[in-house]
Chains A and B, each alone.
Chain A
Amino acid sequence: MKKVIEVENLTKAFGRFKAVDQISFEVEKGEIFGFLGANGAGKTTAMRMLCGLSIPTSGKAIVAGYDIRTQPEMIKKNIGYMSQKFALYEDLSVAENIRFYAGIYQVPEIEIAPRTLELLNRLGLENEKDSLVKALPLGWKQKLAFSVAIFHHPGIVFLDEPTGGVDPVTRRQFWEMIYEATDSGITVFVTTHYMDEAEYCDRVSIMVDGKIAALDTPANLKKKFEANNMDEVFYRLARNASRKAD
Chain B
Amino acid sequence: MTLKYLLEKEFLQIKRNKFMPRMIFILPFVALALFPLVANFEVKDINLVVVDNDHSSFSARMVQKISSSGYFRLNKVSADYQTALYNIEQDDADVILEIAPGFEKNLMNFQPAGVLISTNTVNGMKGGLSSAYLSGIINDFSSEIRAEHLQNNSKLKANAIEIIPRYDYNPHLEYKYTMVPAILMMMLAMLSGFLPALNIVGEKEKGTIEQLNVTPVSKFTLILSKLIPYWVIGFIVLTICFLVAWMFYGMISAGGYLQIYLFAAVFVLAFSGLGLVISNYANTIQQAMFMMFFFVITFIFLSGLYTPVSSMPDWTQALSRISPLRYMIEVLRFIFLKGSNFFDLKWHFAALCGFAVLFNGWAVLSYRKTK
Contact = CB atoms under 8 A, between A and B. Distances in A.
* Bound together: yes
Contacts of B206: 85, 90
A170 B171 CA distance: 76
A81 B9 contact: no
Nearest to B212: A104
Given A83-B207, A86-B207, A53 B370 contact: yes
Contacts of B207: 83, 85-87
Looking at chain B's contact residues, the main secondary structure is helix
A53 B216 contact: no
Contacts of A105: 215-216
Contact of B4 (A76, A79, A81, A103): A103
A55 B213 CA distance: 13
A106 interface: yes
Interface residues of B, number: 25
A92 B216 contact: no
Given A55-B370, A72-B370, A87-B207, A100 B5 contact: yes
A51 interface: yes
Contacts of B214: 51-53, 76, 79, 81, 83
Contacts of B218: 73
Contact of A53 (B4, B16, B210): B210
B144 interface: no
A182 interface: no
A78 B245 CA distance: 54
Contacts of B17: 91
22 contacts: A53-B369, A55-B370, A55-B371, A73-B218, A76-B215, A76-B216, A81-B211, A85-B206, A86-B207, A87-B211, A88-B208, A89-B9, A91-B12, A91-B16, A99-B8, A101-B215, A103-B5, A103-B8, A104-B5, A104-B215, A105-B215, A105-B216
Interface of B: 2, 4-6, 8-9, 12-13, 16-17, 206-208, 210-218, 369-371
Interface of A: 51-55, 72-73, 76-77, 79, 81, 83, 85-92, 96, 99-101, 103-106, 132
